[in-house]
Structure 1
Amino acid sequence: MHASDIMTRRVLTVSPEHSVRHAARLMIDNRISGLPVCNDEGSLVGILSEGDLLRRSELGSKALKETGSRPQQGLETYIKAHSWRVGDVMTKDPVTVEADASVDQIAALMATHAIKRVPVVQRGRLLGVVSRRDILQVVLSSKPERFATGDEAIRRAVMARLLSDLNLDTIDVKVEGGVVALCGNVESGVKRLAARVAAEAVCGIGGVRNELRVINEADCKTSGHHR
């Protein structure tokens, strides 16, 4: 799945010449936390988010406090705090992707840069926006992989998943009537939980009985509940 499959195409935008008050009103009225900023040619030039407005002069002296040490940082803070032009306050050179970017690439960018949305562009022109909500919709609509049928096929699929994902090859996997039982000993409660998650990736939630025993029971109690 790619950006073009999940992005929002009808996106509210503002101009660098718009006022901060106008942009804030758009965000409040439409219940969104950020706006792409496009010039007259339709090219993306920045993003204005709620975070860009957290150090406004209207919020008082504490909001203006700056901990940076670069000489020009005080002037930059002053501009962002007092200017009424979106172009002065926005985040320039935002993180962007092209339409063929994969969902996992977009999710990784969001996590790395701690951002809530990623504009989708083509030759600098805005095509749409992928938000965290769009990513969550992918998670919501996805289903466990049911590539295995029959007890023996399911057993082999679970064993392969345990080995490929967790490098676990000592767990005894039993399957009866499509229900998987994980048996044996593991070194920690976290490993016990991870084994169950890996098995459920094959069989789905409710299709796994986790009968693994943690060698160190104290570790089991601090790492998670038995299932």
Structure 2
Amino acid sequence: MAIKSYIGKRAKATKGSSENIKVSDYMSTNLTTFRPEQTVLEVMNTFIKKKISGGPVVNEKNELVGIISEGDCMKQISTSRYHNHPMQDAKVEDHMVKEVETIDGEMNVFDAADKFLNAKRRRFPIVREGKLVGLISQKDVLKAALELKGNTWK
């Protein structure tokens, strides 16, 4: 007995379909950024005031030079207390992560979700022509998934 398949030809991806949703469609572009010469205390105050947990560090040319997070600040708090060093002198450039993994703005948002899982990161910066242009967070990927909840994701 022959089995017939009733699956039709797949339509081409249209704007808004899951195959076509890019990271750049969901990335944040109005970013809170930090400078290497800022103090860790300034960063901590900004985190609390803006209710964020981290952010990119850029130089005067808006080139990404690092990322600083709550965890980096926590390390500074612990170290300064242990060694009895004043925190007001601690600079971002001495406590930020300098080797930053970025993500391509053209990447499919669901491929980005997989990258989040494998890298165990909360956010990825997007750089174009050497300049910081955006940031995508895990929450941004969740927003994309909610907008597509009625569609199939294959």
TM interval, short-chain normalised: 0.7 to 0.9
Q: Which has the larger radius of gyration?
A: 1
The offset of 1:82, in angstroms, is 9.1
The structure in which a higher percent of residues are helix is 1
**Residues 1:58 and 1:51: Cα distance change in structure 2 (over 3 Å):** closer
Asked whether the 8 Å contact 2:37–2:92 carries over to 1, the reply is yes
1:14 pairs with 2:20: no
1:84 pairs with 2:104: no
Identity %: 31
* Cα distance in structure 1, aligned partners of 2:111 and 2:64: 20
Specify which structure has the bigger relative contact order, considering alpha-carbon pairs within 8 angstroms and separated by 6 or more residues.
Answer: 2
Aligned to 1:45: 65
TM-score (norm: length of structure 1): 0.52
Q: How many equivalent pairs are there?
A: 130
Amino acid of the structure 1 residue aligned with 2:133? L
Q: What does the per-residue CA deviation read over 1:56-100, in whole Å, with 9 as the maximum and x for residues that have no partner?
A: 245744xx8xxxxxxxxxxxxxxxx89611011001121101221
Aligned to 1:107: 113
Asked whether the 8 Å contact 2:39–2:88 carries over to 1, the reply is no
Which residues of structure 2 form unaligned runs of 5+?
Answer: 1-20
Amino acid of the structure 1 residue aligned with 2:48? I
Aligned to 2:134: 128
The offset of 1:124, in angstroms, is 2.0
* Cα distance in structure 2, aligned partners of 1:105 and 1:41: 30
Which residues of structure 1 form unaligned runs of 5+?
Answer: 65-80, 147-200, 203-227
Runs of 4+ in 1 over 6 A off after TM superposition: none
* Cα distance in structure 1, aligned partners of 2:143 and 2:39: 33
